[in-house]
Every structure is written in C-alpha cells, then in structure tokens.
A and B are shown apart, each in its own frame.
Chain A
Amino acid sequence: MPVLLPTDALVWLLVAAVAAFAWYSSRRPHLAAPWARVLRSRAAVASAVVLGCFMLVGLLDSLHYRPALPAKDPGAPVAYSVEVRSALDALLTPLRTKLEKTYSAPLATRLYQKETVERPDGSTAREFPRLAHGGAHLKDEARWGRDVALRILAGLAGAVALWSLAVLAGRRTLARRWPRVPWSAAAAALGGLLALAGPAAMLAGGYHVLGTSQVGSDVLYQALKSIRTSLVIGTLTTLVLLPLGIVAGIAAGYFKGWVDDVIQYLYTTLNSIPGVLLIAASVLMVQVYVDTHPELFPTSAQRADFRLLALCAILGAVSWTGLARLLRGETLKLAELEYIQAAHAFGVSHSRVLGRHILPNVAHIVIISLVLDFSGLVLAEAVLSYVGVGVDPSTTSFGTMINAARLEMAREPMVWWSLAAAFFFMFALVLAANLFADAVRDGFDPRVRV
C-alpha cells in the first residue's frame, strides 16, 4: 500500500516543478544560454553526475509504502504493516535485514568485542565470535583475503562493463545532440562512481562494507538513508524561502515608500537574531508541540516526517532575508531603467510590469542564491542535529550519525567507521554541490557575459 508522507509529496512536487522549468527554459534561447554556459564547465558536468546519483538515491528513498503482511488464511483481506518502507529499503533488503549484535569493523568476519561463547566440547571461552552475516558464507576464515579480492575484481569488472556500455550509448545519443558539453568529464565522474559502487555492491553481498553500528545495523545502509534527509533539507527549504524572499524583495524594491520601510524593518529585525538561536528556539517550540500533541502523529514515521518538514520551514523562514535583500537592491536598480519607465508611461499595470519585466530580470539572482544555499543547508543540518535541534533522533541523517559517532571515538579501541562513512558521503555531496554552484554562478552572472 503506497504511503505519501508530506515530505515525499513536496519532493515530487519540486521534481515536477524543476522538470517543467527545464522544459520551459529549453524552449527559450535567453533562458537556455546560461545553462549551456554552465554545462560547458568540466567541473559542473562532473559534479552534476555525482549530484544526479545522490538525487537518484534520495528519490528512490522518497517512494514510501507499507508492506503487506503475509495473509494468515487465503480468503482474508490483506493487512498492512505499520512500518513504513521506501523503494530504497526494498532494494537494500539484504543490508537492512542482516543485523549483527553490535559493532563490527568494515569487512570483518568477527564481532568487535569479546563475548563468552560455548565451545563444542562444553567449555566456555572469551573470544570474538563470528558474525551472523558478515563473512558467514566463508567456511574457512583463512580464505577471507581471497574472497574479498575476488569480489572486488568482479565488482570492478562489472563496473567497467557498465561504464563502457554507458559511454557507448552516450556517444551515440547525448554527444551527438549536445556536442559542446564536455562529456569526457561526465564519463570520468561516472567511471569513478562505478569503480566505488561496483566493488561495494559485490562486497555487500557477503560482508558489511562499512561495518556495523552499535545496534548492529549496516553503516552503509545508514549512510545511504541519510542522503534523503540531506537532500530534503537542502531543497524543501527553498519552497518556503523562495516565495518569501521573492515577494518581499521585489515588493520592497518596486513599490518603495512604506512597503519598503515595513519589509526592511522585518528583515533587519529577523536578521538581528543570531540564526542558530532563532532556529533553536523555533525547533524547541515545535518539539514542545509534537510532544504535547501525540494524538496527531500515530506512527513514528509521521512524527519524524513532521519534524523534518518543520525544520525545513523554520530554516526557510529564517534565511529568506538574504535573498530579499539582494532582490530589493536589484529591483531598485531595474525600476529606474528606461524600458520600465516606458512601460509605466504606456499604462502597463503593476502586476504585468512585475511579471514580464522585473521577475525575468532577477531570475538569475534567484537561481544563483538557490544553488549556493544548498551546500550550506546540508552542513547546517549536521550542526543542528548535533546541538539537538535538528531532525528527529529516529531519522537517519549525517548529523545523527556524527552525533552517535562522537561517543564511539572515546571508546577503546576506537570505532571509526560510522564517522568515516558520514564524512565521506557528506564530503562528496557538499563538494559536488559547491562545484556545481560555482559553475552556475559563473554561467548566470551577467558580468561575465561577453
């Protein structure tokens, strides 16, 4: 039975909006030109491929359903589990269900701490017990090295095969259609990703590639699940930020007078409150609301989803001021230009001037600030979750992973893999977003146009 969580609905709405906007701008040369400039940058193309893969994982994780319970007798109506799962969960069922007792190192065959085990002859001993799933297919642990190497090789071979197929297909189609895009950069990025994903997928069949966490769940699975949380925060925030920022900024710059005074007063006041504290105070209040109204959230997934959505709304409501200030300045400049004056002289209505003349001419600022904000929001989530005002503790996110890993660092011997996994995934996502944002800024900034 499919389940549509509010964040899912908004994510798909956003996807549809972006697709519509892409289709709309591809028809109009003046809108398509900056994007063509962006896609001429090698860094942008490579990072777009990486971002695309993250998006794919995030979107798969946004298709939720409640699995049907096995019917007790054939004629009975189908009952559904209360647990909400996503398409990604279904794909990663082996990772999700292969639980160990507690910590185990990446690719390990034995647990990370000693346990009392009973020997076949009846005596007991303290030793590192074999894992329930990691390397369980090995009859002889001495063959571990050979097995891992073989799996890596097989993964690489699969990656090479897939990559060649993709490159061949791309040459025939994409490269012919858009010859000026540096496809070699895309191919290189795809090759790098496949070279990591292929062996990881092969190894994941028999081992825990990035180890297991304290409760014994697979760290790779946690990291993949965290991607959606990051993407939701980085993108859904814009749904609140955009309307507020655009309306306030343009209205202030266009109507001037008391409208300008009121809006300037509003954003100076909001801006004066240190961001983290305002967010913290707002999230605390949402927490109080959730805790005192348990009847509104029947399942924990719904509660976690509401808190995620509230966090996005709060982040958006706190951070629209920057965009509004930029747009106000630009609109002030535009409103004095001759063609706007001419439009006024012809008696064109305000709404038409705003829609036809002002909005299209500030669109580049909106797009630039959107992509620049994304990486900051992803980083902010980690910090906020650490402070305790981020996502619900039951939501997997990079912030909650790091937060849990903090105690593990103090353990002796240290548990480093959760932290390493969170670091690696977050770094890849934020770096790709930063590089892409830089290319977008260069492509859209009218000052570099020649």
Chain B
Amino acid sequence: MIAYIIRRTLYAIPILIGINFITFGLFFLVNTPDDMARMQLGVKRVTPEAIEKWKAERGYDKPLLYNAAESGRRFLTETIFFEKSVKLFVFDFGRAEDNRDIANEIRTRMGPSLALAVPVFLVGIAVNITFALGMAFFRATYLDLWGVILCVAMMSISSLFYIIGGQYLVSKLWHLVPISGYAEGTDAVKFLVLPVLIGVVGGIGAGSRWYRTLFLEEMGKDYVRTARAKGLAESAVMFRHVLQNAMIPILTGVVVVIPLLFMGSLITESFFGIPGLGSYTIDAIQAQDFAVVRAMVFIGSVLYILGLLLTDLSYTLVDPRVRLD
C-alpha cells in the first residue's frame, strides 16, 4: 500500500512538469511579457520605459529560458521560467497585481470556499442518491418516467438561471436571507444557506440521472436475481445489494472531486460575494492578473492528481477484490 502510494506520487511528477510547461507556454510564449505589459498599461500611448518598469516590478524582465549574461547555476535560475514556473513546485506563487502575497491570500480564502463547497457536495450526494434510488425502485412506472423527464428538464437549465432565480425568489421576494455577502463564524450560516440550496438543486438533474443509470445497470445483474429468488424483500435488495455494489462506480466519480472542493465554485461564489478561492479566480481573470491565474491552474492540477490517487485508494475500502501493490 505505502509502496503503491509512493509509486503513484512519483508518477505525478512528470504530469506536473507537463502542466508547468503548458502554463509556461500559454502565459509566456503565446504572448511575450511585452504584450502583457502593453495590455495592462493600455495599448495606446505607452512608452517603452513604462513597459520596462512594469516588467521589472514583476520580475518579467529576465530572459525566458536561459540567461546568457549569467554564469554557473544562475545561467538557469535567473530566468522567467525558473522564477515563475519552477517555483510553483514549492508553492511559491509570488505576488498578485495588488502586491499581496498569493499563497497567503489562498490560505485565508480556503475557509469560505470549503464552507460552501463541502455542504453542497455532501447534501448533493445524499439527495441525488435518494432520488436515484427512488426512481430505480419504481422503474418502468410513470413515477420513474416523470422523474427522468424532470431530470432532463433540470439539466437543460443553465446554472446561471438557478442562481439568479434563487436569489430573486428567496432573497428579494421573500426576504428570507441576505442577497449576498459573508461573515465569519456561525454568522456565515445565513449567508450560506441559499448558495448551498441552489448548488444542490442545480446538481439534481444530471446527478440523479447518472446514479439511476448506475443502479439500473447493477439491478440487471445475476446476483440481484439470486437475491430476489431467495425471497429477499425488494427494499433489502436495493439497500443491501444494489447500493453497496454500485459504490464502486459512484466512488469513481465522487472521490476525484473531493480535493477540488478547495478550489471553491467559480460562479456561485462570485454571485453571492463569498470571499473564497472561486471568486478570487474570477476576479483575477477579469482583472487579467496572470500570476493568480497561473497559481490557481497549478493548484487545481495538483488537487486533481491527488483526487485520482484517493479514488484508487478508496476502491480498496469498498471492494475487497481490489489489492493495490
């Protein structure tokens, strides 16, 4: 097991290097630092001195890949690639446009993001599995048919409409919770109820339908027929046999997103003014703060790879046939 984890972690290294090259290529080769400076300072009426100053302030005034003016190790380290891309590996993200430390910002913003993402994730799974079990239990009846129709209809509504509609109904019309904002501690609850509710409702369509397919696939298998043949009640078959065996495909889809919960949700956070990582990312995209976007791309990738590893480990917990070595 330990050996497996170590091996998988080693596999992650080339992937992270690849990600580094992709982001480096995107941010520094497609457009040179000069282009970015011109973009930030306004395309017209920009002096070469202003561009040089902008680049020097952000450390973009070095050569891209190798520095011919330096010698020895500094030949490679005094470059943009080393300063901006390699240092991501030790989680040194540098500073944002407003001169704040990105790593520090990420640490403080992780809390609100998790406070929103974890309830959405847990409640969402519980609700979706309940609906899916219900539909699978009443399969091939009108209840199932209308359930699927409702799911397809809900899937066809853009997440933006769930947020706008929810904000309008609950906050503006009924005045139940504040429309947006955030507070520390237990005060946060009243700000989080609505986004969590909207996050769960918005996910029902696609989620329940996917789980229903998984359950129906399991229910067509031989062991289910055997269980019924030996006289087990349908509810016992559903909960004891189908649900447990469907755990493997469910885990495949679910565990991989757990680490990504740290990243928060882009749209919901920005609509509700929750100071998490999602709104941080959106603000950075809109302000074209390349350093922050680069940092978030790297963190997101690390978390995704972590999620893949967790998925494999979780198989050993639910499926005794799986041995990792």
B88 to chain A, nearest CB (A): 13
Question: What is the CA–CA distance of A423 and B26 in the complex, to the nearest angstrom?
Answer: 34
Q: Interface size on B (CB < 8 Å)?
A: 46
Question: What is the CA–CA distance of A375 and B301 in the complex, to the nearest angstrom?
Answer: 26
Bitwise, A277-300 to B at CB < 8 A (1) or not (0) is 110111011011101101000000
Task: Give the segment of A59-67, A175-183, A319-327, A424-432 that binds chain B.
Answer: A424-432
The reply to whether A268 and B267 form a contact with Cβ atoms under 8 Å apart is no
Question: What is the CA–CA distance of A292 and B167 in the complex, to the nearest angstrom?
Answer: 39
With A280-B285, A291-B43, A387-B266 as contacts: A426 and B18 at CB distance below 8 Å: no
A426 to chain B, nearest CB (A): 6
Interface residues of A in 424-450 (CB under 8 A from B): 426-427, 430-431, 434-435, 438
With A272-B15, A382-B160, A386-B160 as contacts: A409 and B168 at CB distance below 8 Å: yes
Of all chain B residues, the one with the shortest Cβ separation from A276 is B266
With A272-B19, A292-B31 as contacts: A423 and B14 at CB distance below 8 Å: no
Q: Which residues of B contact A435 (CB under 8 A)?
A: 152
Q: Which residues of A contact B297 (CB under 8 A)?
A: 273-274, 277-278, 281
With A375-B156, A434-B155 as contacts: A288 and B15 at CB distance below 8 Å: no
B102 to chain A, nearest CB (A): 14
The reply to whether A292 and B293 form a contact with Cβ atoms under 8 Å apart is no
A270 at the interface (CB under 8 A from B): yes
The reply to whether B27 and A387 form a contact with Cβ atoms under 8 Å apart is no
Bitwise, B32-50 to A at CB < 8 A (1) or not (0) is 0001101100010000000
Question: What is the CA–CA distance of A268 and B167 in the complex, to the nearest angstrom?
Answer: 38
The reply to whether B301 and A272 form a contact with Cβ atoms under 8 Å apart is yes
B182 at the interface (CB under 8 A from A): no
A318 to chain B, nearest CB (A): 11
A313 to chain B, nearest CB (A): 13
The reply to whether A383 and B267 form a contact with Cβ atoms under 8 Å apart is yes
With A268-B15, A274-B263 as contacts: A288 and B36 at CB distance below 8 Å: yes
B153 at the interface (CB under 8 A from A): yes
Interface centre among A272, A285, A427, A435 (most CB of B within 10 A): A272
The reply to whether B281 and A277 form a contact with Cβ atoms under 8 Å apart is yes
A262 to chain B, nearest CB (A): 11
B282 at the interface (CB under 8 A from A): yes
Question: What is the CA–CA distance of A393 and B321 in the complex, to the nearest angstrom?
Answer: 54
Bitwise, B253-267 to A at CB < 8 A (1) or not (0) is 000000010010011
Question: What is the CA–CA distance of A427 and B26 in the complex, to the nearest angstrom?
Answer: 35
The reply to whether A282 and B15 form a contact with Cβ atoms under 8 Å apart is no
A368 at the interface (CB under 8 A from B): no
B161 at the interface (CB under 8 A from A): yes
Question: What is the CA–CA distance of A436 and B305 in the complex, to the nearest angstrom?
Answer: 35
A49 at the interface (CB under 8 A from B): no
Q: Interface size on A (CB < 8 Å)?
A: 46
With A284-B290, A291-B39 as contacts: A431 and B153 at CB distance below 8 Å: yes
Interface residues of B in 271-325 (CB under 8 A from A): 281-282, 285-286, 288, 290, 293-294, 296-297, 300-301, 304-305
Interface residues of A in 244-287 (CB under 8 A from B): 265-266, 268-274, 276-278, 280-282, 284-285, 287
The reply to whether A280 and B14 form a contact with Cβ atoms under 8 Å apart is no
Q: Which residues of B contact A398 (CB under 8 A)?
A: 158
Question: What is the CA–CA distance of A288 and B294 in the complex, to the nearest angstrom?
Answer: 16
The reply to whether B161 and A423 form a contact with Cβ atoms under 8 Å apart is yes
> Could you say which of B172, B282, B290 contacts A387, with CB atoms under 8 Å apart?
B282
> Could you say which of B39, B152, B153, B157 contacts A292, with CB atoms under 8 Å apart?
B39
B245 at the interface (CB under 8 A from A): no
Of all chain A residues, the one with the shortest Cβ separation from B20 is A269
The reply to whether B300 and A274 form a contact with Cβ atoms under 8 Å apart is yes
Interface centre among B14, B266, B290 (most CB of A within 10 A): B266
Interface centre among B160, B167, B288 (most CB of A within 10 A): B160
With A431-B156, A434-B156 as contacts: A284 and B293 at CB distance below 8 Å: yes
Question: What is the CA–CA distance of A419 and B164 in the complex, to the nearest angstrom?
Answer: 9
Question: What is the CA–CA distance of A423 and B260 in the complex, to the nearest angstrom?
Answer: 29
The reply to whether A406 and B164 form a contact with Cβ atoms under 8 Å apart is yes
Label chain B's interface by main secondary structure. helix
> Could you say which of A265, A284, A388, A423 contacts B18, with CB atoms under 8 Å apart?
A265
Q: Which residues of B contact A284 (CB under 8 A)?
A: 285, 288, 290, 293
B22 at the interface (CB under 8 A from A): yes
A308 at the interface (CB under 8 A from B): no
B304 to chain A, nearest CB (A): 5
Q: Which residues of B contact A44 (CB under 8 A)?
A: none
B98 to chain A, nearest CB (A): 18
B159 at the interface (CB under 8 A from A): yes
Of all chain B residues, the one with the shortest Cβ separation from A420 is B161
Of all chain A residues, the one with the shortest Cβ separation from B297 is A277
The reply to whether A389 and B285 form a contact with Cβ atoms under 8 Å apart is yes
Q: Which residues of A contact B18 (CB under 8 A)?
A: 265-266, 269
> Could you say which of A272, A276, A430 contacts B305, with CB atoms under 8 Å apart?
A272
Q: Which residues of B contact A431 (CB under 8 A)?
A: 152-153, 156
Q: Which residues of A contact B300 (CB under 8 A)?
A: 273-274, 277
Of all chain B residues, the one with the shortest Cβ separation from A294 is B43
A250 to chain B, nearest CB (A): 22
> Could you say which of A270, A289, A375 contacts B22, with CB atoms under 8 Å apart?
A270
The reply to whether A285 and B27 form a contact with Cβ atoms under 8 Å apart is yes
B30 at the interface (CB under 8 A from A): yes
Q: Which residues of A contact B161 (CB under 8 A)?
A: 402, 419, 423
> Could you say which of A271, A272, A282, A291 contacts B26, with CB atoms under 8 Å apart?
A282
B77 at the interface (CB under 8 A from A): no
B52 to chain A, nearest CB (A): 17
B67 at the interface (CB under 8 A from A): no
Q: Which residues of A contact B167 (CB under 8 A)?
A: 409
A362 at the interface (CB under 8 A from B): no
Question: What is the CA–CA distance of A273 and B161 in the complex, to the nearest angstrom?
Answer: 27
Q: Which residues of B contact A14 (CB under 8 A)?
A: none
The reply to whether A285 and B156 form a contact with Cβ atoms under 8 Å apart is no
A343 to chain B, nearest CB (A): 33
The reply to whether B26 and A265 form a contact with Cβ atoms under 8 Å apart is no
Which 8 residue pairs across A and B have the least CB separation, nearest first?
A: A269-B18, A274-B300, A431-B156, A430-B156, A272-B301, A288-B31, A285-B30, A272-B304
Seen from chain A, the residues whose Cβ lies within 8 Å of a Cβ on chain B are 265-266, 268-274, 276-278, 280-282, 284-285, 287-289, 291-292, 294, 375, 379, 382-383, 386-389, 398, 402, 405-406, 409, 414, 419, 423, 426-427, 430-431, 434-435, 438
Q: List 19 A-B contacts (CB under 8 A).
A: A274-B300, A277-B297, A284-B285, A284-B290, A288-B35, A288-B39, A291-B43, A383-B267, A386-B160, A398-B158, A402-B160, A402-B161, A409-B168, A409-B172, A427-B156, A430-B155, A430-B156, A430-B158, A438-B152
Apart from A270-B22, A274-B260, A423-B161, list 5 A-B contacts with CB within 8 A.
Answer: A280-B281, A284-B293, A389-B285, A402-B160, A423-B158
